[in-house]
Amino acid sequence: MKMENKRAGGILYLVVPCYNEEEVLVHAAEVMRDKLGRMASQGIISPKSKIVFVNDGSSDNTWKIISDLCGCDDVYSGLCFSRNYGHQSAILAGMMAAKEHADMVVTIDADLQQDIEALDKFVGCYQEGCEIVYGVRNDRDTDGFLKKLSANMFYNFMHLLGCNVMSNHADYRLLSKRALDALAEYREVNLFLRGLIPTMGFQSDIVYFDVKKREAGRSKYTLRKMVALATNGVTSMSTRPIQFITILGFLVSLFSFVMIIYCIIDWFSGRNVPGYTTSLVVSLLMGGLTIFSLGIVGEYIGKIYLETKARPRYIIESVIWKESKDTAQKGNGEANAECAD
């Protein structure tokens, strides 16, 4: 149910995780600033809204570009990790830095494939009373065959193993200050925000958007990273693999018991049937199942090990943060020209 009284336009912070994004960052910054300026001039958001870039240990000139942007306009702020901690940690760091200043935070990728014009809909849902708004893509027409295949396999795999993730939702979402305060109470070292945020249970809504083609650079979510994200998500949010092992163990035990009865009957009947093939197949099956099961259990033990050590989820090496002037104070063309220089 929506709230009858709409919230006023609040302070919006865009959180942008960046890893080797030098090819697209300047253009993306201009587009984001222009969008915030237009929304502020229309009274949709506060003129104090900002853009927060989080440099996730980039090896190119990403941090230098962020520093230059922050120097040319106070609407930009930047955080720099001491090393690469991963996309999820970069998103969390930006949100935690913004939650003391913003009424709402939207996370968006630096390549701007996620339609930034959908921000009006996100804020509209927030003003109607939603604490969390999920961005869901309409289709995957812009993806290549392998990317589309791996993405579909990812979501099917997550659903099969009991992870409550929303299909075709990446990390384009809005969180209110209330939701951010609740998220700050979660202390997991192994972060999987796509599964973690829905567990908070606040009033939420969905905004559908079209995905654009990437203008420059390459996607940082390789197949290896997708597999790592899926593994981390399953072991962080579900115990179903352990339940599968239990069921599988029971079925193998039942099969073994039947084979034992069969062998005893065969022995008493006096038949001398060579058992080399049967022994080999059973040995290989049992050995493979044992090693596979130990691997799954080991993943969970490894997660427990990391959680008990309670190491920091990220370390921030540098911060560029200034109190923002009104985003609509300067003409957009003037601001963009300064940043482009």
pLDDT (tens digit per residue) in 87-145: 889 999 999 999 999 999 999 999 888 899 999 999 999 999 999 999 988 865 655 56
272 in the same domain as 208:
no
Q: How far apart are CA 333 and CA 341, in angstroms?
A: 12
Q: Is the model's pLDDT at 16 over the cut of 70? A: yes
The pLDDT value recorded for residue 249 is 72
Residue 7 forms part of a structural domain: no
332 in the same domain as 295:
no
333 in the same domain as 270:
no
The pLDDT value recorded for residue 331 is 41
With cut-offs at 50, 70 and 90, classify the pLDDT of residue 337: very low
The pLDDT value recorded for residue 190 is 78
The pLDDT value recorded for residue 232 is 64
Q: How big is the chain, counted in residues?
A: 341
Which residue range(s) make up the domain with 250?
240-309
Residue 22 forms part of a structural domain: yes
Residue 2 forms part of a structural domain: no
Q: Lowest mean pLDDT: which of 172-176, 199-203, 275-279?
A: 275-279
CA 134 vs CA 9, 97, 167, 206: distances in Å? 19, 21, 11, 5
Outline where 132-239 has alpha helix (H). 145-160, 177-183, 193-196, 223-237
Q: How far apart are CA 341 and CA 183, in angstroms?
A: 38
The pLDDT value recorded for residue 170 is 77
236 or 1, which is more confident? 236
Q: Is the model's pLDDT at 238 over the cut of 90? A: no
The pLDDT value recorded for residue 266 is 67
Residue 6 forms part of a structural domain: no
87 in the same domain as 164:
yes
334 or 176, which is more confident? 176
Q: How far apart are CA 292 and CA 86, in angstroms?
A: 27
263 in the same domain as 151:
no
The pLDDT value recorded for residue 339 is 52
Mean of all residue pLDDT scores within the chain: 79
> 295-307: per-residue pLDDT in tens?
777 777 777 777 7
Q: How far apart are CA 170 and CA 88, in angstroms?
A: 11
Q: Lowest mean pLDDT: which of 205-214, 259-268, 332-341?
A: 332-341
Q: How far apart are CA 300 and CA 114, in angstroms?
A: 33
Residue 177 forms part of a structural domain: yes
Query: Cβ distance 153 to 71 under 8 Å?
Result: no
Instruction: For Cα atoms 128, 129, 135, give the angle at the middle one, nearest 5 degrees.
Output: 80
The pLDDT value recorded for residue 2 is 44
Task: Work out how many domains the chain is built from and give that number.
Answer: 2
341 or 227, which is more confident? 227
The pLDDT value recorded for residue 179 is 95
CA 260 vs CA 59, 247, 284, 290, 294: distances in Å? 60, 20, 17, 19, 25
According to DSSP, the residues that pair with 135 across neighbouring strands are 207
Q: How far apart are CA 32 and CA 45, in angstroms?
A: 14
